Amino acid sequence: MIAAPAWPHRMIVRMATGLCPPVVALAFSLAGCAGCPKPDVTVVQTVTQPPKLLSQASPTYPETAREEGIEGDVLVAMVVDTTGRVSEVEILRGPLLFHDAARAAARSSIFAPARVNGMPVSFRVIQRLTFQLQAAQAVAPALPLWEADVPPVLMNEDILRSPRLKLSSEAYGDVLVEVIVEPSGAVSKATLLMGSLTVFEAARAALYRLGYTPPERANAPTRVAIVALVRVRQSAIEFDVRNGDSPLYGYWEVDTKPVFFGQPASRYHATVGTESPTGEVSLGIIIDTTGVVEVAWVVQGPTALHEAALDTARAFRCLPARHEGRPVRVWLTRHISFSRRQSSWDSGE
């Protein structure tokens, strides 16, 4: 267990409404936040007047998560009725530790309802809650790896293969993480972007023990963010850097989602042998700016189906995601179900 730093915790809230909206960032302190945020939410939608958040209770940072220094994002879908109250709440994604706090905050929300020609209508709102332990003092934002003139070099890779790791047999899988490397070369933060919290927790202690040569920009030490695919196995942890040469966005962060070719948007069919194993495989996928699958990895699922699922995912082609008018790299999940008649994939966002 890693002791939580003695920092005041802080919640960063990002809200989006509609299907393909811009994302608006809001920030407010959980501790002593008497006033409720009143953001202006910019929306691209067919309603005359989009919903506007008027008030929301400050979410409670779970004590267990605070003590263990756990951070993460929770994506919540809410149905705002014609009175501006939240009638339905659904957790779309995020660590289980934060679900109750996110759900309670969502249910407390009060909106000015959406309107069409002056008449109130129900509307679906998607809100991202980022549970983050932050230092009280301001820190410089971390640069993406490709912007460093002198990138950090890992000095103690043997940590990832140490017998002292004592990895659980249940903690077997792949996760996408972001690691912040300080000017000293020490890792100050490791955040789960996608995958199992159980797998991430198995690797987290080792990630914090990684040591790098100091990164530099303009001949001065700087902070750098490394995006990596972490594969946790019973005898070792593999750390594969996946920064690429441009920003990597989450599926719900982009204005326009990727559109896949050749099959309906929610299903994929392919013939498999009658003797083939059955089951479901969850995959992580990074799609590049041309619509090609840059990398695919298994998050969970039967070992016998891994190769077939990866072959299927690597063959995907699509119109790339777009953000602020330009194509961007995006990461997302897919679930591929195999039966003795066919295999299929559906969206896991």
Q: Are strands 9-17 and 110-112 parallel, antiparallel or unpaired?
A: unpaired
What average pLDDT score do residues 280-298 get? 90
Q: Provide the token pair at 193.
A: 């972007």
Single-letter residue type at 343: S
Lowest mean pLDDT among 216-225, 227-236, 285-294: 227-236
Query: What proportion of the chain, given as a percentage, has pLDDT over 70?
Result: 75
**Using CA of residue 238, residue 244, residue 250, residue 256, what is the dihedral sign?**
negative
Which position has the higher pLDDT, 162 or 317? Answer: 317
Mean pLDDT of the chain: 76
Q: Can you spell out the DSSP letters for 14-52? A: EEEESSSPPPEEEEEESTT--SPP-------SSSSB--E
* Domains of the chain with CATH codes: 9-133 (3.30.2420.10), 143-245 (3.30.2420), 249-347 (3.30.2420)
What per-residue confidence (pLDDT) applies to 265?
Answer: 37
In this structure, the chain runs to a length of: 349
- How does DSSP classify residue 253? G
What per-residue confidence (pLDDT) applies to 330?
Answer: 93
pLDDT digits (tens, 9 = 90+) for 10-33: 333 344 433 333 222 222 222 223
Q: Provide the token pair at 61.
A: 């940072």
Q: How many other CB atoms sit within 10 Å of the CB of residue 154?
A: 16
What per-residue confidence (pLDDT) applies to 315?
Answer: 85
- How does DSSP classify residue 96? G
What per-residue confidence (pLDDT) applies to 269?
Answer: 43
Strands (E), 85-186: 86-93, 110-112, 114-116, 119-121, 123-133, 143-144, 173-181
Which position has the higher pLDDT, 75 or 7? Answer: 75
pLDDT category of residue 211 using cuts at 50, 70 and 90:
very high
Lowest mean pLDDT among 28-37, 117-126, 211-220, 273-282: 28-37
CA–CA gap between residue 281 and residue 215 (Å, rounded): 38
Give kind and range of the element (H or E) at residue 293. strand 293-300
Lowest mean pLDDT among 58-62, 127-131, 263-267, 325-329: 263-267
Measured CA angle at 267 (ends 265, 273), to 5 deg? 145
What per-residue confidence (pLDDT) applies to 165?
Answer: 61
What average pLDDT score do residues 260-279 get? 57
pLDDT digits (tens, 9 = 90+) for 98-108: 999 999 999 99
Q: Provide the token pair at 310.
A: 């990866």
What per-residue confidence (pLDDT) applies to 229?
Answer: 93
pLDDT category of residue 38 using cuts at 50, 70 and 90:
very low
pLDDT category of residue 83 using cuts at 50, 70 and 90:
very high
Closest CA to 65 of 145, 9, 139: 9
pTM of the model: 0.62
What per-residue confidence (pLDDT) applies to 31?
Answer: 29
CA–CA gap between residue 190 and residue 199 (Å, rounded): 13
Closest CA to 347 of 326, 333, 330: 333
What per-residue confidence (pLDDT) applies to 65?
Answer: 84
What per-residue confidence (pLDDT) applies to 198?
Answer: 79
CA–CA gap between residue 348 and residue 324 (Å, rounded): 24
What average pLDDT score do residues 217-234 get? 91
Provide the CA 133 distance to its chain's centre, in angstroms. 17
**Residue 316, pLDDT above cutoff 60:** yes
What per-residue confidence (pLDDT) applies to 281?
Answer: 85
Q: Provide the token pair at 254.
A: 């982009």
pLDDT digits (tens, 9 = 90+) for 143-196: 999 999 999 999 998 888 866 666 666 667 888 999 999 999 999 888 888 887
Alpha-carbon distance values, 139 to 84, 188, 213 (Å)? 38, 12, 20
